[in-house]
Structure 1
């Protein structure tokens, strides 16, 4: 091997001959994980892609502290309403 030899990244994914599914009811809630009244269920974590999919559950009156996302964020409100305090 020399400096010009390409490095093949490791493959961490499974063969995709089956549909991988997740029942969200089977994922435990991480209570107060992001602050008081801010709970979530991690549904997908992919460190290679820098991707995380979480089901967030906010208690009434919960306030999300100011924070920064380094990539795109897609949020869908399934119930209730919310707003950015800042």
Structure 2
């Protein structure tokens, strides 16, 4: 974990934590970055849920069509007025 934090700090060119003994204390840069990191994670999770709903019956779009002359087949009566 320490190596990953070090690499991220190097990439961002900002110190994210102040090291003290066995503790890491977030710097102002870390607090600022946290807001954006949480938005990214939330957005990713929303995308994953959207993809999952595509292959389940929990979400999505379903389209039904009615024949042009549905009344001829007594479909209009059944759908709009209920069963006889």
Superposition TM-score, scaled by structure 1 size: 0.21
Q: Which structure carries more strand by proportion? A: 1
Rg (Cα) greater in structure: 2
Q: Which structure carries more helix by proportion? A: 2
The structure with higher relative contact order (CA 8 Å, sep 6+) is 1
